[in-house]
Amino acid sequence: MSQTANSPTLLDAIAKADGIIEVRRQEALLKTGALQNAILTSANFSIIATDEKGIIQLFNVGAERMLGYLAEEVVNKINPSDIHDPQEAMARAKALSKELNTTITPGFEALAFKASRGIEDIYELTYICKDGSRFPAIVSITALRDDYGSIIGYLLIGTDNSVRKSVELALKDAMAMAEKANLAKSDFLSSMSHELRTPLSAILGFAQLIESCTPQPTPSQKIGVTFPLTPPPMRPHERRI
CATH code of the domain in which 91 resides? 3.30.450.20
At which of 160, 189, 213 does a domain end? 160
pLDDT of residue 44: 79
Question: Is 16 contained in some domain?
Answer: no
Q: Do 175 and 151 belong together in one domain?
A: no
**CA–CA separation, 140 vs 111, rounded Å?**
10
**CA–CA separation, 3 vs 37, rounded Å?**
51
At which of 97, 125, 160 does a domain end? 160
At which of 160, 193, 223 does a domain end? 160
Torsion of CA 224, 226, 229, 233, to 10 degrees: -100
Q: Do 208 and 116 belong together in one domain?
A: no
Question: Is 23 contained in some domain?
Answer: no
Q: Do 186 and 118 belong together in one domain?
A: no
What are the start-end ranges of the E strands in the chain? 46-51, 56-59, 121-128, 134-145, 151-160
Question: Is 134 contained in some domain?
Answer: yes
Domain that holds residue 138: 41-160
DSSP state of 23: H
In degrees and rounded to multiples of 5, residue 191 shows phi and psi of -65, -45
What is the C-alpha end-to-end distance of the chain, expressed in Å? 137
DSSP-derived 3-state class of residue 203: helix
**CA–CA separation, 104 vs 91, rounded Å?**
11
DSSP-derived 3-state class of residue 151: strand
CB 106 within 8 A of CB 86: yes
pLDDT (tens place) for every residue of the chain, 241 residues total: 444 554 557 666 665 666 666 666 655 555 555 556 666 677 778 999 999 999 999 999 999 999 999 999 999 999 999 999 989 989 999 998 998 888 998 889 999 999 998 887 888 889 999 999 999 999 999 999 988 989 999 999 998 888 765 655 666 666 767 677 677 667 666 666 655 555 656 566 656 655 665 555 566 655 555 554 455 555 555 555 4
Q: Do 67 and 172 belong together in one domain?
A: no
Torsion of CA 130, 132, 134, 139, to 10 degrees: 30
**CA–CA separation, 141 vs 150, rounded Å?**
16
Q: Do 179 and 148 belong together in one domain?
A: no
Could you give the number of structural domains in the chain? 2
DSSP-derived 3-state class of residue 49: strand
Q: Do 178 and 103 belong together in one domain?
A: no
Q: Do 152 and 189 belong together in one domain?
A: no
Question: Is 25 contained in some domain?
Answer: no
pLDDT of residue 229: 47
Q: Do 146 and 58 belong together in one domain?
A: yes
Nearest to 77 by CA among 64, 104, 105, 58: 58
pTM over 0.75: no
